[in-house]
Amino acid sequence: MINKKTWRQAQIQRLHTHQEEIDQAAAPLITQLITSPFWAQAQTIATTVSGFGEVPTERLINLARTSGKTVVIPRTMPQRQMVFLPDPGPEHRIISEFGIPEPAFDPAAVVDKANIDLIIVPGIAFSQDHGWRLGFGGGYYDRYLSDYSGTTCALVPDAMLFASPEWTVEAFDIPIDHLITTKGLMSFE
């Protein structure tokens, strides 16, 4: 098996060439998400502000807000830690050193992970055998999810879906509970 870093770089390149397909998959994937039981049951939802090669999340953020849910988005912290804060909206986000719009840090506003009902986890590749996930390589979500007990899901366009992991699954990797794919919902709980 080729090394994880090489495989990740190739997959990121691949996603860049599939941006149109990813953008087109967004609407049907989001429809599946908002009609799922775990969406209905979630009051506080964590998602990301998407970048290039990712499923666009802005519409999803708006849909959650208009259905009265609280949307929290990540802020990266030193030592590859991450916290979630309420989304202040597009105009009030601050661009991080990685180029990702984030909420300003306010210790009093950090949302405890026990109070996050559903985390929509970003990634670049997912496996349909067990819901394994590969991200951009920061390890932020693996660390964050290691003691998270709520529900996780991911929006997975075809270019991110693999029959089994083509990358190396490691001891710290946390599988995703529900993959939302163009072939339907795949649950691993």
Ligand X SMILES: Nc1ncnc2c1ncn2[C@@H]1O[C@H](COP(=O)(O)OP(=O)(O)OP(=O)(O)O)[C@@H](O)[C@H]1O
Residue recorded with tokens 């490691």: 170
- Out of 1, 40, 99, 146, name the contact with ligand X by CB under 6 A: 146
Q: Exactly one of 28, 51, 86, 175 binds ligand FFO (CB under 6 A); which one? A: 51
Token digits of residue 13: 């390149």
Which amino acid belongs to residue 26?
A
Q: Which of 28, 135, 150, 175 binds ligand FFO (CB under 6 A)?
A: 135
Q: How far is the CB of 14 from ligand FFO (least distance, A)?
A: 16
Q: For residue 75, what are the CA distances in angstroms to 28, 55, 63, 80? A: 28, 19, 21, 10
Binding of ligand FFO by 141 (CB under 6 A):
yes
Q: Which is nearer to ligand X, 28 or 162 (CB)?
A: 162
- Report yes or no: 186 and 155 within 8 Å, Cβ to Cβ: no
79 binds ligand X (CB under 6 A): no
Q: Confirm if 123 and 158 have CB atoms less than 8 A apart.
A: no
Contact between 76 and ligand FFO per CB under 6 A = yes
Quote the DSSP letter at residue 165. -
> Does position 119 bind ligand FFO by CB under 6 A?
no
Q: Residue 141 annotated as binding?
A: yes
Q: How far is the CB of 80 from ligand FFO (least distance, A)?
A: 8
DSSP 3-state helix, strand, coil percentages of the chain (rounded to 5)? 35, 25, 40
- Using CB under 6 A as the binding rule, whether residue 140 contacts ligand X is answered as yes
Q: Does 160 bind ligand X (CB under 6 A)?
A: no
| 40 Cβ contact partners less than 8 Å away, ≥ 6 residues apart | none
Q: Is 95 helix (H, G, I), strand (E, B) or coil?
A: strand
Judged by the rule CB under 6 A, the positions of this chain that interact with ligand FFO are: 48-51, 54, 74, 76, 82, 98, 100, 122, 135-138, 140-141
Judged by the rule CB under 6 A, the positions of this chain that interact with ligand X are: 134-143, 146, 172-173
